[in-house]
Structure 1
């Protein structure tokens, strides 16, 4: 006489655990009654991402940064962020040296740039892809850079710090 597969006690516990997990996962979505379920198979909209890539490339060109990094021996550091996210960074510098800070915004609207070295300096920058520069003389050991988008602004903001040669 042949018997079909036999469920052992250990197998039964495992099966019960898997079924419980499947029920929890399957029932964990919260939907309001009376509303149709969301269509989760939407195609992602790549236009904003492509547009941001284009704006970042424009900002990189404006700051003189190649895709593989800056090519100058005087280059210190740089970075890019979405205007909506803002830039909030602290840069380590050689105390007493002189630097050039360049900030660019590509997109639309304006951003508020605040540079805190020995004192804070604020400046409004238009998101037209044209970099603005600020000379930092007798630099502190650390400089804080904040770039915040003003209402209605969008795009990419970038910054670059170069040491000024002697």
Structure 2
């Protein structure tokens, strides 16, 4: 209340009045532009597109898809076949998988790949020559045997246009 009794606070100094007279039109223009640009874009596409929950996987959806992929591959479960676990992982379908596992020469392995989500991914396994396979994102694992492995094995999984979700892989050494 003491501030109201101060004549400078009620009427302002010349500097304060000058700043207020300059800032008022600027703030008004910013408010008008902000409000009008929001109302103009309601029917059309956004000038600055932002990801929405419908266009990308939300955190809860991503976790559910990760769990589906892990369950389909048996990640975290004990292997009852006697095969020896080598490596596994999960990635977003949009990021893909690009791994170069260290395998023992002459041994045989099983590669399992699963995609949980929508669309399809392309799996490429390269030892001497590339072998390609398209996999649907339906949470059903696809298995491929790698026999007489070489030290240089490349595994690449790339999401095809419109694919989304989680891609998982698991490599096991076959028991003898």
TM-score in terms of structure 2 length: 0.66
Q: Secondary structure at the match of 2:101?
A: strand
Q: How does 1:1-166 map to 2 (within 5 A)?
A: 36=34, 48-66=58-76, 71-72=78-79, 74-166=84-176
Q: Distance in 1 between matches of 2:170 and 2:85?
A: 8
RMSD value, Cα:
2.1
Shift of 1:51: 0.3
Which aligned segments of 4 or more residues in structure 1 are displaced greater than 4 angstroms?
none
Q: Which has the higher strand share?
A: 1
Aligned residues: 124
Q: Distance in 2 between matches of 1:111 and 1:123?
A: 8
State which structure, 1 or 2, has the greater radius of gyration over its C-alpha atoms.
2
Q: Which runs of 5+ in 2 are unaligned?
A: 1-28, 36-51
Q: Distance in 1 between matches of 2:127 and 2:173?
A: 15
Q: Distance in 2 between matches of 1:76 and 1:103?
A: 14
Q: Distance in 2 between matches of 1:142 and 1:76?
A: 15
Could you give the per-residue CA deviations for residues 127-165 of structure 1, whole angstroms, max 9, x where no partner exists? 000000000110001311111111111000010000001
Q: Distance in 2 between matches of 1:65 and 1:122?
A: 24
